[in-house]
Chains A and B, each alone.
Chain A
Amino acid sequence: MKSIFGLTVLFTLMACSQSSSAELDAEILSHPDPNVVQFYSDNLSRIEELRETIALDDEDVERRIDALVTLEVEYPLAAEITARSYVSDENERLALEAIQVLQGNLIMSDHHMPHDMSGASPRLRYMFEKHDASKAALRNAVADERDTVRVESASFLASLSDEQSLQIISEGAASGLYSEVEAANLYTLASDGVGEKYLQGFVGNGELEAQQTAVAYLGSNPDYQSTIRDAYFLNADAPTVLRVEAARTLSTYDVGFISYGPEITEQEGVDPALFEATMDSLIQLQKIRPILTPDQSQLLLDKTQSYIGTQQLSTEDEARFSDLTEELRTIAMQEQRLE
């Protein structure tokens, strides 16, 4: 445990400060594979030479970037450690290059972090500590003032379902650093139920497009389907565009849609776009999993014909509703025949 703690402190210190060569060597020297340690020791002068070029901020940036890329290709461990110090570099291109170096190392190394490290091999322990240190460094870029740097690192860490980054994004959305739509989209990149709790904040709140993203995403999760159903789909006061989005998502993911979807036909003043989206969704559902009884099919057909009779439809809408009616009629006839 003592060694794990020591390693953690070492990595954390390195992640949070500009690295000196002595500290970097220590991290490499703690690698569990003696062949790797030997390789890096043998090439230390070349590594240091490249690091010095990267650090020269009055140099041509192309040369600095080339040095970082070369370091990454030839000495990936050294590059990862070095890149942690440059994710917020004043030079935007170098910062982005450093972010990419870290991303290349982090992308497939977060799979399953065991809480109990006692059974982990030295190699695995080293890997996890390295991963945490690089992730911590990359988080510094999530609140960067530059759009490119910020979104690049945020979209990456959101995809890793990194809660701390989502919190930074959330705070950034509150302060105006991120637009609400940007934040909503970034939350959707997270999995394992991590993004949902942030997206929930957009239910009934915020910019229309951010709400639309929240509806499309949360409507796919059984834990949130009743919320989306009540707050949008069945809510006559909700904007039509959001109700249509809810119809599409819920009909795709909620097996209960067949039971409440037709309620739209009972509401007064339903926008043609919502009526059409709901009927179309029910038709598509019927094609995948036949669920409508003959009576239900006939009822939907009657309701649709009746709805058309009360509406002043545009030529375009008329054509769409004509197709819809035809499909409903076909389904109703098929169902009656089957019965």
Chain B
Amino acid sequence: MEFQKKQDDGRRAIRNKQLIRVVQFLSCMLLTTFVGQAALAQTAVEIELHNTASAEDDFLCWSPVKARVRLAQTQSSDKTVSVSGTVSGNGRLQFSAQSATSLTSNTYSPNDQINIELPANGGWVELFVSGSKASDGSKDVSIRVAEATSGSELGLLPVMVRVRKNANNLSQVEKSNLLNALASLNGHQSAIPTESYEKYANAHRVAFEIGIHQGHMGWPLFLAWHRAFLLSLERELQQIDPTVTIPYWRFDEDNSNIFTPDFMGTVAGSTSPFGTIVQFSQTNPMLGWRMTSGGTLTRLRDSSTRLQNVYPPSRFQLLHLIMDGSGANEYGGSVPANGINSQLERRHHNYAHDSVRGWLGSGASPRDPLFFLLHANVDRAWAEWQAKLGKFNKSEVSAYSAQGAYPGSGGSSTPFRKSSYAQDVMWPWSQDDGSSTPNDSQDNWPSSGFAFLPSPSGFAPVGDPTPASMIDYLGMLNSTDSTGFCYDHINYFGEVQ
């Protein structure tokens, strides 16, 4: 229902947008006819985000994206207008009239309101817009264009500042949107389970062979591969409901709102003393969460109190030093165990998986959707480290340790398999199964049929993801590299709140 509602909302928004333009056009015509040229102070404008008329791509986060405005009708003279964001909902916007094809976090200087000059001939004027405060699960903020002198409104474009948030603090609408999208992807509306969701669990399993874990062995992929994996699912969910993002599970903080029958389920109140079968409420779309292989979702424990109470703080000392920038400041590290890639894996990630167990404790752990909330938190911690230490240069070995591309068959002298190097397209998105090089066993992959969906908003990566394309995820060094996802507490300028 919610899914259908969202689709209807989307269609309604497009219709409204078209209607606004028709009304604006008719208003102009009337004014022109009956009032004459002098009355053209009421001229309407057209506004587009990502330089398309479609409402489907009207989403952004902290990174600056292109927008454009023009007069709907040619005029006798240029017109000065103000551009700002509405303040009725939760989302907030900022703008910059800088003329450039792309920006960096050092060159972007946005304001809450800017004035621009619209040419009389109806030509587009480009500007940059970014979010400064997150929306609450819908297009609750609009780009507002008004007459610079009188303040009369000339046009509105509803958009959403869509960012990943702490799952413990989601609004009811945000939770509901996420659960409905997950259930829809997993085929809950149909009687027969589909593999649309389960393919993630299967891919994760096989991908172990390319070294997506065990960073302390020197394998570089853990953080970069899982970032792409999260984004892959997120885009698939957004195809169902464009307002959805993957929230993060702060397993190192209170998370009592996550493990409830109405959200991610609970093992509290299960049928037996140390019950393991996850309980959902009757109204939770996740009720009956299933895989084609059968079985019901199990967890040993609900939350991560174990993580805080059982593991001695001394185990986290090295990670804390690295996160503060006072420890090793490399992605991989000359001693692999001490790089951020290994430390986040061994401390945050492994302990979180281990604290829950059941489906989340095995190689097929993405079967439990909690997997993605867990990994969003690991990714968030990596993003925080990147922001604090400025590790966004995809060509630097300290930002990603396996630079270059797979050098070809080198036997044991080639440390990593194809798919691991910065310029390699990662499996399962790579469609290269290595059949053209039969003597090289390091580049053989099963065909996955796994597609990395392009962003309707044109966010990177354009094409299939490489580790390099995951590094400057905010587009801080080049706004065109922005992947379109952001965390609520790390802004475009690398400030961690």
Stretch at the interface among A107-115, A301-309, A317-325, A331-339: A107-115
Stretch at the interface among A11-19, A22-30, A208-216: A208-216
- What's the least CB distance linking A133 to chain B, in Å? 15
| Majority secondary structure of chain B interface residues (helix, strand, loop or mixed) | loop
Residues of B within 8 A of A (CB-CB), count: 70
Q: Report chain A residues within 8 Å CB of B204.
A: 111
1/0 per residue B287-315: CB within 8 Å of A? 11010011110101000000000111011
Contact A112 B209 (CB under 8 A): yes
Q: Report chain B residues within 8 Å CB of A252.
A: 287-288
Contact A114 B361 (CB under 8 A): no
- What's the least CB distance linking A44 to chain B, in Å? 14
Of B218, B274, B295, B350, which one neighbours A33 at CB under 8 angstroms? B218
- What separation, in Å, do the CA atoms of A126 and B317 have in the docked complex? 28
Residue of B nearest to A110 (CB): B363
Of B211, B351, B357, B415, which one neighbours A156 at CB under 8 angstroms? B357
Stretch at the interface among A46-54, A72-80, A259-267: A72-80
Q: Report chain A residues within 8 Å CB of B192.
A: 255
1/0 per residue B347-375: CB within 8 Å of A? 00111011001111111110100000000
Please tell me if B346 contacts chain A, counting CB pairs below 8 Å.
yes
1/0 per residue A86-120: CB within 8 Å of B? 00000000000000100111011111101000111
Known: A112-B208, A159-B358. A69 touches B314 (CB 8 A): yes
Q: Report chain B residues within 8 Å CB of A196.
A: 294-295
Known: A36-B217, A159-B358, A192-B293. A122 touches B412 (CB 8 A): yes
Contact A100 B412 (CB under 8 A): no
Contact A127 B217 (CB under 8 A): yes
Please tell me if A288 contacts chain B, counting CB pairs below 8 Å.
yes
1/0 per residue B402-417: CB within 8 Å of A? 0000000000100111
Contact B271 A104 (CB under 8 A): no
Of A107, A111, A185, which one neighbours B274 at CB under 8 angstroms? A185
Contact A73 B310 (CB under 8 A): no
Q: Report chain A residues within 8 Å CB of B467.
A: none
B321-343: which residues lie under 8 A (CB-CB) from chain A? 334-337
Contact A185 B214 (CB under 8 A): no
Please tell me if A123 contacts chain B, counting CB pairs below 8 Å.
yes
Sort A-B residue pairs by CB-CB distance and give the 7 closest, nearest first: A111-B208, A111-B363, A159-B361, A221-B294, A220-B296, A119-B441, A159-B357
Known: A212-B271, A245-B271. 16 other contacts (CB 8 A): A33-B415, A69-B312, A76-B346, A108-B214, A110-B363, A114-B209, A124-B211, A159-B300, A159-B358, A185-B274, A191-B293, A209-B271, A213-B271, A220-B296, A252-B287, A253-B290
Task: Return 5 A-B CB contacts under 8 Å, by A number.
Answer: A104-B351, A124-B211, A189-B358, A209-B271, A220-B296
